[in-house]
Structure 1
Amino acid sequence: MYVCICKGITDSQIRTTVEDGASSMREVCNTLGIASQCGKCGQHAKQIIQETIHAASTADPQFYAL
């Protein structure tokens, strides 16, 4: 789903950016350019960032037996 119409940025791109190490709106903005024009997508983008960080922190770690 498109989050930022101005820049054509999707929720998947935001999630991928967070999974690749971005941990704040500022870092996502610097990487993708989200919320840099009209800014209407900012709140939704922040929500996606927080959800992605929360999901990663509560995920069960995978253990593999050798």
Structure 2
Amino acid sequence: MFVCLCKGVSDRQLKQAVTDGANSWREVRIETECATQCGKCACMAKAIVDDALAQKFEDFDLAYAV
């Protein structure tokens, strides 16, 4: 689904940015330009990115658990 209509950014693109190495909302914003125009999408986009980051770090912790 499109999250940012101004820049045409989808939830998949936000999640992909995290998969590709972004480690913060700021890095995702820079890469996708999401929420850089009108800003109405910022809360939803940040929630999607936060979930993706949590999953990324959870998977990392499980992979390297001793």
Residue aligning to 2:41: 41
Larger helix percent: 2
User: Equivalent pairs: percent with the same residue?
Assistant: 41
Aligned pair count? Answer: 61
Could you tell me which residue of structure 2 aligns to residue 7 of structure 1?
7
Runs of 5+ unmatched residues, structure 1: 62-66
Instruction: Please state if 1:23 is matched with 2:33.
Output: no
Aligned to 1:57: 57
Q: Which runs of 5+ in 2 are unaligned?
A: none
Give the AA of the match of 1:57: F
**3-state SS of paired residue (1:17):** helix
Deviation, structure 1 residue 58: 2.2
Letter in 2 for 1:15: K
Cα RMSD, aligned residues only: 1.1
Residues 24, 53 of structure 2: 8 Å contact kept: no
Once the 2 structures are TM-superposed, how far is the Cα of residue 29 of structure 1 from its aligned partner? 1.1
SS of match in other structure, 1:39? coil
Moved over 6 A (4+): none
